[in-house]
Chains A and B, each alone.
Chain A
């Protein structure tokens, strides 16, 4: 038979190959078996077998975040599909480009409550950018083309392709044609911003005395870090990044104020609150940033650049809304600034920068905690992050789970490059850290990839340790073990009178060193401060092995600063007995 004739399953695989897909993550099952047979019979797309479908989607997501290329996951129908849901929601909230292919029962069985049947299109609808239910085998190439186009353009996001088993039948072949381009009348994402808005923005910039640049994940998604740096340097305005935006501007640059928001730095939150101009780029004024939106930065005019028109003026009214890609709009702003005889009040700006610097001196984070040695005989979790930073020379990819350890990593590891910091910011998915690290490590086999986690989060996808052995992934797991769900416990300390409802394990934790060893990896236990740095050195130096570094940290440590709920951004807890009001 002519080679251009393919079954639906072969067409699916070949379409993925033509989209440049080299890796996919998945887990087989009945409805996906024709597809798995087609995988076996080709060598363009490598399939990584995970241990749980949630891991497959997080791994595809981690791959996408680290590379900027779309990640792909393949799951079977029913439980395979529902297990993928948390991963989809994670990618949706952080706008990452992934394509999830789910097997579906045969088309004639749909709606009959057949074995392993779930309405995947219905179940995933609110947490995908778009989804396709394949109606006939011949549609597969065009649907794949559309899915990748939608996932990767505009505001990126996850796309589901649900494929009934009969449309992948090896017995039915059709002439394979892959569309060279796709034109959808209902989907035309904005690129360039409106040039009159760009001029208005620069007018505001010229008149500002207390400006702040506030950038988010959109800058990283759009590979606009170079433009952001040029823009910020041109103006010498103080800059802060959201949790999702860390790395877009070099974390070790003195112009950088650190992260803002719920656990942002004192200087970043104070600057936002007292600003007269906020230039938001690829950020969405999330509630973890604004605190009470009604009290948010009342004196500031807001310029809001975002590729998603629905994000602009959703929470906070934009005085100058600019809809377009971050890269394109920042380039236009830079051009407009360079083309003008820019009248910036340098005296006011340097006084403002001095104010920011005074705030930093007063209550900024202490980045030399390692030098203090043990605190009350214990290791501070922040010290572990600083030791990791030191040992990796700030160049590792860091993935994280969700909780205190995530905030400590965000605060204390200075991310100098975009895509270096990979975490579930929007959905806050515990269990994201290890599988997303697999995606990163497979994309960059020679890089140091560390997963900063806690004993709570790591147990949510711990089964992927087995995947890591199968594919030889030398991830460094840095477990900040405080024997409690730290962030829950912190809230219980602060708001529930120290009543630790279901946030501790009553001596039921596994021996993580032995656990790692039983999965065929190296485990190292650190209980004393004196051993921390040498253990970290050993962990990072074992280039070819997965190392599980289990560090006992002070269970009483809290993450500060912390915004006081229901107030403005200058209401911060700075310590257990220290607050700004």
Chain B
């Protein structure tokens, strides 16, 4: 089962390598990984998705929490949450599937190439890839999902 885990960590050199290293060290898979600074410049927020049952995810979150640079960890799947991922697709102009997209999706357009951007859940993006496969996109790039819980809980050191 796919799970999305979000964490806050000290924005320090080496912190990311400890998080990533933990996954290979303990034999867990990282499917996706997104990391960026937060509005508090001393903290970075990292969102990752991984495969695993309840027990594996519990171990992953505990092991992540144990890292000294990790401030907070949340298994987003433990309550309702919103997940969004960005995808860019490059088509040859002559095979661009116009019906699948509208103007707002198009981010660049010239004589040869059309690039589109799509935002959705990871499974929606998976579906779109299947639906447009017939038009032979020449490059697909995905950001990996971000997540935020649907309730008033926040991943923040202020509460």
* Residues of chain A whose beta carbon lies under 8 Å from any beta carbon of chain B: 121-122, 125-126, 129-131, 133, 150, 184-187, 308-310, 313-314
Contact = CB atoms under 8 A, between A and B. Distances in A.
Contacts of B9: 186
B31 interface: no
Interface of B: 9-10, 13-14, 17-18, 21, 25, 55, 58-59, 62-63, 65-66, 68-71, 157
A150 B69 CA distance: 12
A98 to B, nearest CB: 16
A129 B18 CA distance: 11
Contacts of B59: 310, 314
Contact of B69 (A133, A186, A314): A186
Contact of A125 (B18, B58, B71, B157): B18
Contacts of A313: 55, 58
A186 B10 contact: yes
A455 to B, nearest CB: 34
A230 B62 CA distance: 31
A184 B65 contact: no
Contacts of B70: 186
A125 B68 contact: no
Contacts of B18: 125
* Most chain A CB within a 10 A radius of its CB, from B10, B25, B68: B68
Nearest to A312: B62
Contacts of B65: 309-310
Interface centre among A122, A131, A185, A310 (most CB of B within 10 A): A310
Contacts of B55: 313
10 contacts: A122-B17, A125-B21, A129-B68, A133-B13, A133-B14, A150-B68, A308-B66, A309-B65, A310-B59, A310-B62
B25 A126 contact: yes
A129 B67 CA distance: 8
B62 A187 contact: no
A125 B17 contact: yes
B71 to A, nearest CB: 4
B21 A126 contact: yes
Contacts of B69: 130, 186
Given A133-B13, A310-B62, A185 B71 contact: yes
A133 B13 CA distance: 9
Contact of A310 (B13, B21, B25, B66): B66
Given A309-B62, A310-B63, A121 B14 contact: yes
A149 B57 CA distance: 29
Nearest to B13: A133
Contacts, number: 36
Nearest to B25: A126
Contacts of A185: 71, 157
Contacts of B63: 310
Contacts of A150: 68
B72 to A, nearest CB: 8
Nearest to A159: B68
Contacts of B62: 309-310
Contacts of B58: 313
A125 B25 CA distance: 10
B76 to A, nearest CB: 19
Contact of B68 (A122, A130, A314): A130
A513 to B, nearest CB: 45
B22 to A, nearest CB: 8
Contacts of A187: 68
A313 B10 CA distance: 28
Nearest to A146: B68
Nearest to A310: B62
A184 B70 CA distance: 11
A309 B17 CA distance: 22
| 10 closest residue pairs by CB, A with B | A310-B62, A130-B68, A186-B71, A126-B25, A310-B63, A309-B62, A187-B68, A310-B66, A125-B21, A185-B71
A286 to B, nearest CB: 15
A184 B68 contact: yes
A329 to B, nearest CB: 18
Contacts of B66: 308-310
A309 B64 CA distance: 11
B68 A186 contact: yes
Contacts of A186: 9-10, 68-71
A37 to B, nearest CB: 29
Contacts of A314: 59
A483 to B, nearest CB: 38
Contacts of A308: 66
Contacts of B25: 126
B4 to A, nearest CB: 20
Nearest to B22: A126
A131 B55 CA distance: 29
A244 to B, nearest CB: 19
A313 B54 CA distance: 12
A122 B24 CA distance: 14
B38 to A, nearest CB: 14
Contacts of B157: 185
Contacts of B14: 121, 131, 133
Contacts of A131: 14
Contacts of A121: 14
A133 B12 CA distance: 11
A125 B16 CA distance: 12
A129 B63 CA distance: 12
Given A133-B13, A186-B69, A309-B65, 8 more contacts: A125-B18, A130-B69, A131-B14, A184-B68, A185-B71, A186-B70, A308-B66, A310-B66
A316 to B, nearest CB: 11
Contacts of A184: 68
A131 B63 CA distance: 17
A424 B44 CA distance: 38
B150 to A, nearest CB: 26
A502 B70 CA distance: 45
